[in-house]
């Protein structure tokens, strides 16, 4: 059998690449050394869907994280992959206010949506169990988590249903 592409590694990235190559018309095969897909790094992944707030403005990592955030939520909704858009509070002590403001501005420059500066009372309203010394923070509404094994399964099923070989 001849293939246009061989993808080695059946984690999230390998399955996603295999599916995209297949969608572009390439005959592809996905090779995984383990009995099940996603057993290596993907099975140890926290499943966090990052917002892109931390990365340097105009960096490739920033652009891909921001775009990936949106695409991952869209994919999960369309394909019934469980996820939670939990949001995230990035908090700081009184002497870290400038550092948080700089991070917030970086997020805005990066085009990150759903960022809100928070004061102490707003933080404790959202999360009353945080240390009382916390004085300020940022709410990142579009941070979340996804069910990584379900994502791997969804990607690989689509790949196989479209004629891909695992």
Catalytic residues: 50
Output the CA torsion sign for 114, 41, 62, 96. positive
Collapse the DSSP code of 107 into the 3-class scheme (helix H, G, I; strand E, B; otherwise coil) and give the result: helix
Torsion angle (degrees, nearest 10) of CA 148, 150, 151, 152? 90
What's the CA gap between 41 and 43, in Å, rounded?
A: 5
d(CA 65, CA 42) in angstroms, rounded, equals: 17
């Amino acid at each position: 059998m001849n293939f246009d592409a061989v993808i080695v590694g059946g984690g999230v990235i390998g399955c996603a690449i295999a599916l995209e190559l297949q969608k572009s018309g390439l005959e592809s095969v996905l090779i995984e050394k383990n009995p099940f897909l996603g057993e290596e790094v993907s099975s140890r992944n926290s499943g966090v869907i990052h917002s892109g707030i931390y990365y340097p403005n105009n960096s490739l990592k920033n652009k891909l994280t921001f775009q990936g955030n949106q695409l991952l939520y869209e994919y999960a909704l369309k394909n019934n992959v469980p996820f939670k858009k939990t949001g995230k509070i990035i908090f700081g002590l009184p002497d870290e206010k400038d550092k948080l403001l700089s991070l917030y501005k970086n997020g805005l420059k990066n085009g990150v949506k759903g960022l809100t500066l928070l004061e102490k009372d707003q933080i404790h309203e959202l999360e009353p169990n945080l240390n009382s010394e916390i004085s300020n923070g940022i709410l990142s509404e579009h941070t979340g988590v996804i069910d990584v094994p379900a994502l791997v399964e969804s990607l690989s099923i689509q790949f196989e249903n479209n004629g891909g070989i695992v």
